Amino acid sequence: MAKYAHADVLDGGLNAIQNNATQMLLLKAYSPADNYTTVSGNAICTVTMAVADYTLSGPDGAARVLTVAAKSGTASANSGPAPDLHIAFTNGANKVLMVTDETSDQVVTSGNTINFPNLTYTSNQPA
């Protein structure tokens, strides 16, 4: 049986991030059930995001990709000796929109420059 989702459908989730994620945070720890208050409390660096920091691409009938611009900021807290770093996108008020793993898990000291890389999030055609 053939399956298909229009780009507008695939973009729905991606647009929710693009249009509402006003902050990107580096977290010293994250668990899947963490709410906005917990995520904000674990933030060691926060940068402001704008709609222009996100780019949607991919043709109709294929995967759609949201690319996040590289950003930098200054750590406002220490990560601790054995961090489990994650990058979170929030609306800056009460919602965690997306969290992804940060794979270096390096120790961060308050005052350090944090370089957030270009990130991508893919919305695939149904399988």
pLDDT at 48: 98
pLDDT at 1: 55
- Give 16-83 as a 3 state SS string: HHHHHCCEEEEECCCCCCCCHHHHHHCEEEEEECCHHHEEEECCCCCCEEEEECCEEEECCCCCCCCC
pLDDT at 27: 97
Radius of gyration of the chain (CA): 16
pLDDT at 34: 94
Under a CB-based contact definition with an 8 Å cutoff, are residues 56 and 102 in contact? no
Phi, psi (rounded to 5 degrees) for 105: 45, 35
Domain regions of the chain by residue span? 7-123
CA dist., res. 82 & res. 79, Å (int): 8
What is the per-residue DSSP string for 109-124? -TT-EEEEPPEEEEEP
| pLDDT tens for each residue of 78-110 | 999 999 999 999 999 999 999 999 999 999 999
pLDDT at 66: 96
- Write the Ramachandran bin of 44: left for phi over 0, alpha for psi from -120 to 50, otherwise beta: alpha
pLDDT at 9: 80
In the chain, which residues have pLDDT < 50? Answer: none
Nearest to 53 by CA among 39, 36, 73: 73
Return the structure tokens found at 121.
């999030």
Nearest to 44 by CA among 98, 83, 99: 83
